[in-house]
Structure 1
Amino acid sequence: MTAKDVRVKLVTEIRDADRKEEITMSEPGQYFSRGETEVVKFTEHPEEGEPVNTMVTVKPGHVSIKRTGGVDMRQVFQKQLETENIYHHTYGDFHMKTFTDQIEYRSLEEASRGRLFISYQMTLNHEVTQRHRLTLIIEEESE
């Protein structure tokens, strides 16, 4: 198993009919790889609320993002498939449906800068559907 200290940059774009929101954050993290599975772990520190521990697992054709702490959820992305999960938040539980349009991944094993890009549509509580684009950039921390 390979383990490395990395710098993680996460950019999330959310669009609905009339607005676009972009959230960018950068945190130290860790990268692990074993066989065809790669994992990135980091802790998000939102301006409001508790820290959120995030674990991104990438396998061929499959990405899962698990968050615990301030929020509790596991989201699964598989190209051209719809997945469902429950998002547990301080303000209550939300039902989430995710339809993944596209997944692109460049491994940290192949380049000094890894990149995960996911474009998906998410429907919250069967009501609002928003387009999301998530870009996760992983760079090795220089010694």
Structure 2
Amino acid sequence: MSLHENKQQKIKVVLQTKITHEGVTENFEVKTSGLKFRKGSALYFQYAEKTEAGDTQTTIKYKEYETLLLRNGAVKMRQLFRPSEITNGHYESIYGTLPMRTHTESIEHLWNENTNEGVLRLRYTLDVQGGEPGQYELKLNYKEEA
């Protein structure tokens, strides 16, 4: 299946997050499965993340110049990415809702038609509730399942 078709495609997902905050770098990795589909000019990714806090359903809506990250479940979050812009979002947990400011450095999507694999990479600075900003790189590697 190519990216230009409208039906849902099962995918294997490896989500890698690199966070650098106050000189300390942490790396996180989540492996799961999900779905990929296209609506209009947007490419959607949906998958579940299982953590100690519980399950979270994640949806990423990718467009070339704008990406929206939505999380619902144990974590509720709305984060908008636009290159070279600062956008507002929020993070909601059992402790309350925290405002977020995201300064997107870049959005990159690569697709390999031969291997049916792709990667979506977001690089950004995140400031949560006026705290010291951290540098983030979110990398969503995905592969279509047969």
Alignment equivalent of 1:134, drawn from 133, 138, 145: 138
Aligned to 2:84: 80
Q: CA deviation at 1:64?
A: 0.5
Deviation readout 1:3-61 (Å, 9 max, x if unpaired):
10000110000001221110001101000013321100000001x11100000111121
CA contact (8 A) 1:71 1:89 kept: yes
Stretch deviating more after TM superposition (33-42 or 7-16): 33-42
Which residues in structure 2 correspond to 1:30-109 (within 5 Å)? 30-46=35-51, 48-107=52-111
Partner SS state of residue 15, structure 1? strand
Partner SS state of residue 54, structure 2? coil
Q: CA deviation at 1:76?
A: 0.5
CA contact (8 A) 2:60 2:70 kept: yes
Aligned to 1:27: 32
| Superposed CA RMSD | 1.5
Q: Distance between the aligned counterparts of 1:15 and 1:109, measured in 2?
A: 33
Q: 1:97 to 1:53 in 2, by over 3 A?
A: same
TM-score normalized with structure 1 length: 0.93
Equivalent position amino acid for 1:117 in 2:
R
Is 1:117 aligned to 2:121, yes or no? yes
CA contact (8 A) 1:27 1:42 kept: yes
CA contact (8 A) 2:122 2:138 kept: yes
Corresponding residue pairs, total = 141
User: Unaligned regions of 5+ residues in structure 1, if any?
Assistant: none
Alignment equivalent of 2:20, drawn from 15, 22, 28: 15
User: Unaligned regions of 5+ residues in structure 2, if any?
Assistant: 1-5
Identity over the aligned pairs, expressed in percent? Answer: 26
CA contact (8 A) 1:108 1:139 kept: no
